[in-house]
Amino acid sequence: MKKILIVFLCLLFFAPAFAVNDVSFIYINGSNNNDEKMKNWYEEGVRKLHPVLRKKFEKNSAIKKYYSSLGGLNVEAEPVIFFWGDKSEKDLAFVKSQLDVSKAISSTGAYIARSLIAQYMHDAIWVQKSHNMVPILEELNTYVKEQSAEGNDVILYGYSAGTFITYEYLFNKLRYINPEKLFESLKMDDEFLAYVRENPKKNTCISALSYSYAGIGTVSETGQIILNQDREKLKANYLKLDEQTELACAPDNRLKGIVNFASPLVLFYSDLADSEYELNYYNKLMTKYIFENGIFWITVNFREDPLGFPTSRNLTVNEIQDRLDMQIENPSGVIYDDSSVWSKRLFAFAHTSYWSARGTFSKAVVKSFINGYKFQYDPKYQAKILKRKGKKAEL
């Protein structure tokens, strides 16, 4: 009896060390999912995919190690489906009504081509507009906060145009903005900077700066942060920044990563390659934050998918530091792309086959997770991959 009591006390004492990490997968739909039929198609696909993906994650030893918990990893049995397609339905209906007008004056071929373009591209263009994107991000953040309140970490899965939302969520909701450094970068005068230093605030996010929250400023269409021009209001609003940060930003340390798939992200966000576009500076801060806070950003595309664009060439931390012109302290995160996954599907069907080829896709996600970390943090593996890349470059 005494031995049993000792064992019980030991288990009780060490219980936190064996705590299982609970993780919720939030799936975000793409374009052309705005009517009931396509909504059902998407949700049915997610429900078929999720158990396979969950099993692959929970059984993989490398992923368990990433979570640094002896108890392992517990992915919630039910997928969390974040559906935004219905929000564009009214606008798409208007476009279709205009198409009907053109039917009488166009050739059949031109009409069919217009219809297909409208059907497949409308939502992707619609969701990028700020007045459409912001409410979607706010609703998604509510989902993330609900999972956080239940004690769950979160991984976002963005499908097709849903990758725009995962990217915008990272950009607008992660807490990579240091207020003092922000005002320094915006060349505020010494008197205002002294005020900021006398009243230090925690790191915040782009959303918290907006007039919907703290009222510090707004992001213009040219990518610049335009501060509140009323200086006294700016000072008063600054003092409320910590409170607004908790309301506006992603819960601290809950978002573990994003998985983008069937991703046309670079096709629609190519302006980020423009060195004159000021948001590049904040993208650099976001990238630095991802690496310093152990977040992963994985892109998986089927090679037959005509809309699956590689996000970037896979770079080492040192290469990323050179491009950012910033020092990354104690890196532990990953940005990794695998757009070479063979789905064994015809190109015409590949973009919508991630659900039917769920075994192949799930395996590719886990493999990309592992290879991404090995590429960044396993010197031998990194050297092997870089050597292989060097040989290809010579050909």
Q: What is the pTM of this model?
A: 0.87
Q: What is the rounded distance in angstroms from the CA atom of residue 180 to the CA atom of residue 200? A: 8
Q: 109: which 2 tokens?
A: 């071929």
- Cα distances from 362 to residues 58, 166, 300, 359, in angstroms, run 12, 19, 10, 5
Instruction: Kindly give the residue spans of alpha helices, DSSP state H, lying in the chain.
Output: 2-13, 36-59, 61-66, 89-103, 108-126, 130-149, 162-173, 179-185, 190-198, 206-209, 231-239, 241-248, 265-268, 279-292, 317-324, 347-350, 358-377, 379-394
Q: What is the rounded distance in angstroms from the CA atom of residue 58 to the CA atom of residue 73? A: 6
pLDDT in tens, the chain (395 residues): 444 334 333 433 343 444 567 999 999 998 766 678 888 999 999 999 999 999 999 888 878 776 654 345 789 999 999 998 777 555 555 455 555 556 656 666 665 565 555 555 656 677 778 888 999 999 999 999 999 999 999 999 999 989 999 999 999 999 999 999 999 999 999 999 999 999 999 999 999 999 889 999 988 776 788 899 999 999 999 999 999 999 999 999 999 999 999 988 776 666 555 555 556 888 999 999 999 999 999 999 999 998 888 887 899 999 999 988 999 999 999 999 999 999 898 888 888 899 999 999 999 999 999 999 999 999 999 999 988 876 554 43
Question: Degrees (nearest 5) of the Cα angle 90, 84, 226?
Answer: 90
Give rounded-to-5 percent helix, strand, coil for the chain: 55, 15, 30
Q: What is the rounded distance in angstroms from the CA atom of residue 127 to the CA atom of residue 34? A: 12
- Cα distances from 393 to residues 60, 90, 151, 353, 364, in angstroms, run 33, 49, 47, 32, 25
The answer to whether 320 touches 288, Cβ cutoff 8 Å, is: no
